[in-house]
Chain A
Amino acid sequence: MRHEISILILGLLAVLTTASIVAAILSVRAPKPLSSTLVNLTQRINAWWVMVALLTVAFFFGRYGMTILFALISFAALREFVTLTHTSRSDHWVLLGMFGIIIPFQYWLVWTAWYGLFVIFIPVYCFLLMPAITALHGDTERFLERIAAQQWAVMISVYCVSHVPALLTLDVPGFEGRTLLLIAFLIIVVQGSDVLQYIFGKLFGKHRFSPNVSPSKTWEGLVGGLVSASLLGALLSFVTPFSPLQAAGVAFVACSMGFLGGLVASAIKRDQGVKDWGHLIEGHGGMMDRTDSLVFAAPIFFHIVRYFWTV
């Protein structure tokens, strides 16, 4: 596995270095003051350096590192989500429970690989008990809106995100001890697809995909991004239990889900009247701005691998 990880890290370093050099050359040549697109591009690349560094560190700590890292990502994402939605004073204990009980318990289930409870703890127990607690408080103003927002918040930020480290619990025959590479594959392909969609959109984008939801998403960006990300998936098949063709197919499904995740996230932001989820990452906005695609891709990727590749 060490061999594959070294190749992945070297590849990422090469891509980021190239990106930084290109951005530096563009910035030197461009008229001053720099356009906001160029400033944002540099900020984004710098943020990518930090994110890749963090992921690499978490990788070296293996299961511990991944579980803790994604629990923290859930925390940051949930905090952004709840901040945006309407809450009332009587929701205090439910909100505290979301951060103090649901996140630790869900990641404990991931850690202990208790699959049966991991898949139903949030969609069954939490979804029934959270509205019950809210109803017990007796505050019915905008009740359905409040409980719906709470449930969707834990669904997106905790349940979906926790499927990334849960990949480590899968038993793929002939792939023992290498499940960390599944996480690397998923993240690289899905985040790569975001970047590729952005690049194809900037270069060739003409026809808007859904002007009401997200003005920046175009058909050209979508098709170019998905096709190239699927190719990237095929190229990376050597780190997975998939054949190149299977890897391209899995990458295509994951990246399509990622695209839909971005679309849903944009719709929520538009509904709440904000541009970004938060201010955590310079140039990217908040945690959810960076993970919206991963959030939708992770559970589907998890279940595809689990259904077709595990015993």
Chain B
Amino acid sequence: MNKLSLKTFTLLQTVTSVGLSALAWVVTGVRPIWNGSLPSGRQRIYFANHTSHGDFILLSACLSEKERAITHAVAAGEYWGKSRLRRFIAKDMLSSVLINRQWTTPEENPIEIMLSVLDQGHSLILFPEGTRNMTGGPLLAFRSGLYNLSMARPEVELIPCWIENMSRVLPKGQFLPVPLLCRVVFGPPVAVAPGEERRAFLERAHATLLALNPRPERGD
């Protein structure tokens, strides 16, 4: 299981990704703001705030087609692996990487699964809050995955990405999106400093992401 073999996109995945990016543009007019990093072919872990199922669609719509073909969103296996249909959508259409947060066997270890993706030269989209933020607060505390991945593969860039307005486009429990303008702000890369503690790093990454919010005064 942890020996995921990844290929570049199948036809279905290419069609899905182009279609979803076009849809994201029609609904949200999504536009990337490169504020501290630039688009590049480098291997990266994009980490973002998470309020809606549409988040990773918006983020990947901001990447070039070439980058999109090797960038995988990390999604919850408990939800997306539950039925054949969900599994088909998550894996065969969106090429996401499924991890189980309550794992038991070593093959299910999320870090190992994500590392195996990185080892094939691919990039990841990670939501370090671990779940969709429904609290109304700006950003939940980060789980440790980001730290563990960075310690294991320090050469991979960690790019903070603030996704704007998605909680208003698709609020909790709704499935029809309201068209509102969204931007994705890509910030400067974050790396674990020599000797930096897990908690200190996670708090610093958290603060870096939060600081990207272009309109922090808005409570909605």
In the assembled complex, B172 has its CB within 8 A of some CB on chain A: yes
The 0/1 profile, CB within 8 Å of B marked 1, for residues 68-102 of chain A is 00000001101110110011110010011001000
Give the contacting residue for B181; candidates A83, A88, A92, A273; CB below 8 A: A83
Contacts of A87 in B (CB 8 A): 168, 220
Contacts of B181 in A (CB 8 A): 79-80, 83, 278-279, 286
Give the contacting residue for B178; candidates A82, A280, A286; CB below 8 A: A82
A273 with B217: in contact, given A83-B180, A279-B181 (CB under 8 Å)? yes
A301 CB to nearest B CB, Å: 28
Cα separation A225 to B179 with both chains bound (whole Å): 36
The 0/1 profile, CB within 8 Å of A marked 1, for residues 174-198 of chain B is 1010111101000000000000000
The 0/1 profile, CB within 8 Å of A marked 1, for residues 143-187 of chain B is 000000000000000000000010010011010101111010000
Q: Please state if B176 and A83 are interface contacts (CB–CB under 8 Å).
A: no
For the A-B complex, the count of residue pairs with Cβ-Cβ distances under 8 Å equals: 39
In the assembled complex, B39 has its CB within 8 A of some CB on chain A: no
B30 CB to nearest A CB, Å: 10
Q: Please state if A92 and B178 are interface contacts (CB–CB under 8 Å).
A: yes
Interface of B is mostly: loop
The 9 closest A-B pairs by CB, nearest first: A83-B181, A95-B178, A89-B171, A83-B180, A79-B179, A278-B181, A279-B31, A92-B174, A99-B179
A73 CB to nearest B CB, Å: 14
The 0/1 profile, CB within 8 Å of B marked 1, for residues 33-69 of chain A is 0000000000000000000000000000000000000
In the assembled complex, B29 has its CB within 8 A of some CB on chain A: yes
Q: How many A residues face the partner with a CB closer than 8 A?
A: 20
Q: Which residue of A lies closest to B165 (CB)?
A: A83
8 residue pairs A–B, Cβ–Cβ below 8 Å:
A78-B179, A79-B181, A82-B180, A86-B220, A88-B220, A278-B181, A279-B29, A279-B181
B35 CB to nearest A CB, Å: 14
Contacts of A96 in B (CB 8 A): 176, 178
Q: Please state if A278 and B178 are interface contacts (CB–CB under 8 Å).
A: no
A75 with B179: in contact, given A92-B171, A278-B29, A279-B29 (CB under 8 Å)? yes
B132 CB to nearest A CB, Å: 14
Q: Please state if B31 and A79 are interface contacts (CB–CB under 8 Å).
A: no
Cα separation A92 to B173 with both chains bound (whole Å): 11
Q: Which residue of B lies closest to A274 (CB)?
A: B215
Contacts of B165 in A (CB 8 A): 83
Listed residue (B179, B215, B217, B220) with the most chain A CB atoms within 10 angstroms of its CB: B179
Q: Which of A223-281 contact B (CB under 8 A)?
A: 273, 278-280
The 0/1 profile, CB within 8 Å of B marked 1, for residues 99-118 of chain A is 10000000000000000000
Contacts of A99 in B (CB 8 A): 178-179
Q: Which residue of B lies closest to A97 (CB)?
A: B178
Q: Which residue of B lies closest to A100 (CB)?
A: B176
Listed residue (A83, A86, A88) with the most chain B CB atoms within 10 angstroms of its CB: A83
Contacts of A88 in B (CB 8 A): 220
Contacts of B168 in A (CB 8 A): 87
Contacts of B176 in A (CB 8 A): 96
Give the contacting residue for A89; candidates B172, B180, B183, B215; CB below 8 A: B172
Cα separation A199 to B137 with both chains bound (whole Å): 46
A157 CB to nearest B CB, Å: 12
Contacts of A95 in B (CB 8 A): 178
Contacts of B172 in A (CB 8 A): 89
Cα separation A99 to B218 with both chains bound (whole Å): 23
B171 CB to nearest A CB, Å: 4
Contacts of A278 in B (CB 8 A): 29, 181
B194 CB to nearest A CB, Å: 39
Cα separation A95 to B180 with both chains bound (whole Å): 10
Give 9 new A-B contacts, CB below 8 A, not counting A75-B179, A79-B181, A83-B165.
A76-B29, A78-B179, A79-B180, A82-B178, A86-B220, A92-B178, A95-B178, A96-B178, A278-B181
B22 CB to nearest A CB, Å: 15
A85 CB to nearest B CB, Å: 10
Contacts of A89 in B (CB 8 A): 171-172
Cα separation A183 to B144 with both chains bound (whole Å): 60
Q: Which residue of B lies closest to A84 (CB)?
A: B181
Q: Which of B21-68 contact A (CB under 8 A)?
A: 29, 31
B6 CB to nearest A CB, Å: 34
B167 CB to nearest A CB, Å: 8
A145 CB to nearest B CB, Å: 12
Contacts of A279 in B (CB 8 A): 29, 31, 181, 183
Contacts of B31 in A (CB 8 A): 279
B164 CB to nearest A CB, Å: 9
Q: Which residue of B lies closest to A75 (CB)?
A: B179
The 0/1 profile, CB within 8 Å of A marked 1, for residues 197-220 of chain B is 000000000000000000101101
Listed residue (B29, B165, B176, B218) with the most chain A CB atoms within 10 angstroms of its CB: B29
